[in-house]
Structure 1
Amino acid sequence: MENANFESNSLFELYKHLNLPVNLIDTAEGFSIFNLKEIGFELPYRSTPYRPNFFSFLFIKDGAGNYTIDDYSFEVKPNSVYFTNPSNYRTFCWEKIEEIYLITFDEVFLKKHINKEVFETFPFLLTETVKPKIVTDEFYEIIERIYLQILAEYTGTYHYKYKIIGHLLAVLFYKIKEYFWQDYNPIYEGNRSSQIVKSFKQLLEKHYRDLSSNKIDTVFRVQDYANAQNLHPNYLSNVIKSKTGKPIATWIAEKTISEAKALLQNTSISIKEITFKLGFSEAAHFSNYFKKHTKTTPAQYRKDVSESR
């Protein structure tokens, strides 16, 4: 297949690239849920390498396969839960699919339908590499009830269905946090490189939250992120690139665009005010930056979102 090492901003993009059916995926809100059995994979199935720009949970009640991220390969078995976030390139392989539910969501969805401090409430979302975890029958029954309720809302036609899904997803996060990550410290993940990545992600999140709340008005440079960890900027850049597969400038650009989209979608403040909230000195500069990364202007993006609702 062409275009190996594909980067996808959504599951819809990924499945189209892999020539898989996309009829079960609603592209409206950056969220999806379904049983993989309904996709109709020709088993055994192995994907080409890809890097997602979205989060995902797999709930494997009856199925088997494996995921590979960098040099790590993880086997998934019945009664297991597997979480991935936007990070490194990976592949997946399925040998058996009977009842495997996949939930995907992006950062804009999380902040719109859960809360803007979602990464503080659920710090495990910033983990780098997580092994699938086999859970007890009792716990699986608990989370199964929740994700099946999410599915029922997803396939419904209620006006507020995504708000309801956001609340249910938060409940699911709390259950998973209590079961797996009650004492999780996102700074420490076993080696120095992982600590650097986690610290960078946390500082990136905090910095843009401070920009959005007008606590600060200056965009950080790579040097500023390096200074925060007493590192040489070249070393920080190398660690981020080697551990995540993305240059640090890409992380900063994606975060800026994500925050811009959230503000354009979910607030009525002017584009000029958004310009200053994100640390740009002029609206024209912000507009050009946004168009460079999205192929549309902030005004057109806001108009398109408004008309689609």
Structure 2
Amino acid sequence: MKPTESLEDFYKSKSLDLPENYQKGLGHFNIFRSEDCFINGQMTVQYSRRDFYKISLVRGQYRYHYADKSIDVNDWTLLFHNPQVPYTWEMFSDEMSGFFCIFTESFFTEKIKGSLNELPMFAIGGKPAYQLTKDEDAEVAAIFSKMTDELHSDYAFKYDLLRNYVLELVHFALKRQPSEALYKHPDANSRITSVFMELLERQFPIESTSQRFGMRSAADFAEQLSVHVNHLNRAVKTTTGKTTTNLIAERLANEAKALLKHTNWNISEIGYSLGFEEASHFTNFFRKHTQQKPSFFRNV
């Protein structure tokens, strides 16, 4: 999987300058017209993780691909993108129009109850697409227009107002039924397995010795997916023929091989980044899954 797209990467990809008040790690908000970000006839957005949220009003014909579903977008649709769930999209229309806003989680810190990821449109496995009528499209466009005006105003509390406008979009969507134009998996087991695999994969690549592999057990994933661990294990076994534990171990072993071959980190650093407290525990794990010691594999 490609590395996470940062805000800096986003602005660079759109040939835009970072706002003058931008400070890395602090709350950030911005809004754009889609047609202003249509670069060089670009018809596809690459599949990647992002470190910011995005809400889009899209018009035309598109297909969005998520970890466990694809969404056909026709005419007017309100879309919500969670940074934890990679996506890509294809454009089938000749022209693009609409709006989108981007914001970091810290933009909402201490301003709303709970996590943004608890909202249905941002939850993993949730419903990100909301089909609109022509009149509803006009209502949503008006909210985005107010956001644009407010962002460029001198009002001292404009960011509080912008947070309210974002929540207005959220509640506008919650009052409507999610789009049904989804390519659904053939059964619940397939869908649960797909989201599990996405959650596993988005923990990689390990890019620094300070980064740690977090979810290492089936129970960790079951808690994140809000399902019983036995239900997750049965779904994964039915779909893949392998246990949840085996799939986690296989992916962990593959990452260990990559780190051994492509970094100069020592064995202890690699083991620690992969969640092992002791180097000996990592060595035992690696030997079990590759029949080789880490040091031997690195030097072959």
TM-score between the two structures when normalised by the length of structure 1 = 0.53
Residue 33 in structure 1 maps to residue 31 in structure 2: yes
Residue of structure 1 aligned with 2:45, choices 33, 44, 47:
47
Taking the TM superposition and a 5 Å limit, the aligned residue runs for 1:132-211 are 132-180=129-177, 191-192=188-189
The CA deviation at 1:42 is 1.8
Q: Do the aligned residues in 1 keep the contact of 2:81 with 2:128 (CA within 8 Å)? A: no
Structure 2 unaligned segments of length 5 or more: list them: 179-186, 200-213, 234-242, 256-300
Match of 1:114 in 2: 112
CA distance in 1, matches of 2:6, 2:219: 27
CA distance in 1, matches of 2:72, 2:129: 7
Structure 1 unaligned segments of length 5 or more: list them: 182-189, 202-218, 247-309
CA distance in 1, matches of 2:215, 2:90: 39
Residue of structure 2 aligned with 1:22, choices 10, 16, 21:
16
CA distance in 2, matches of 1:123, 1:131: 8
CA distance in 2, matches of 1:24, 1:100: 21
CA distance in 2, matches of 1:101, 1:107: 20
TM-score between the two structures when normalised by the length of structure 2 = 0.55
Match of 1:100 in 2: 98
Match of 1:83 in 2: 80
Identity of aligned residues (%): 16
**Pairwise CA RMSD:** 4.0
Give 1 or 2 for the bigger CA radius of gyration.
2
Residues 226/99 of structure 1: CA separation in 2 closer, same or farther (3 Å cut): closer
Bigger shift: 142-151 or 161-170?
142-151
CA distance in 2, matches of 1:227, 1:92: 28
CA distance in 2, matches of 1:177, 1:71: 21
CA distance in 1, matches of 2:132, 2:138: 10
Residue of structure 2 aligned with 1:13, choices 9, 18, 23:
9
Amino acid at match of 1:135: L
Residues 236/90 of structure 1: CA separation in 2 closer, same or farther (3 Å cut): farther
Residues 98/194 of structure 1: CA separation in 2 closer, same or farther (3 Å cut): closer
Residues 170/230 of structure 1: CA separation in 2 closer, same or farther (3 Å cut): same
Residue of structure 1 aligned with 2:244, choices 217, 226, 235:
235
The CA deviation at 1:32 is 2.0
CA distance in 2, matches of 1:174, 1:146: 12
Q: Do the aligned residues in 1 keep the contact of 2:82 with 2:117 (CA within 8 Å)? A: no
Q: Do the aligned residues in 2 keep the contact of 1:154 with 1:161 (CA within 8 Å)? A: yes
The CA deviation at 1:129 is 6.2
Residues 47/143 of structure 1: CA separation in 2 closer, same or farther (3 Å cut): closer
Q: Do the aligned residues in 2 keep the contact of 1:44 with 1:93 (CA within 8 Å)? A: no
CA distance in 2, matches of 1:87, 1:236: 22
CA distance in 1, matches of 2:47, 2:162: 30
The CA deviation at 1:230 is 3.2
Residues 106/79 of structure 1: CA separation in 2 closer, same or farther (3 Å cut): same
CA distance in 2, matches of 1:70, 1:106: 21
Structure 1 or 2: larger helix share? Answer: 1
Length, aligned pairs only: 209
CA distance in 1, matches of 2:87, 2:120: 22
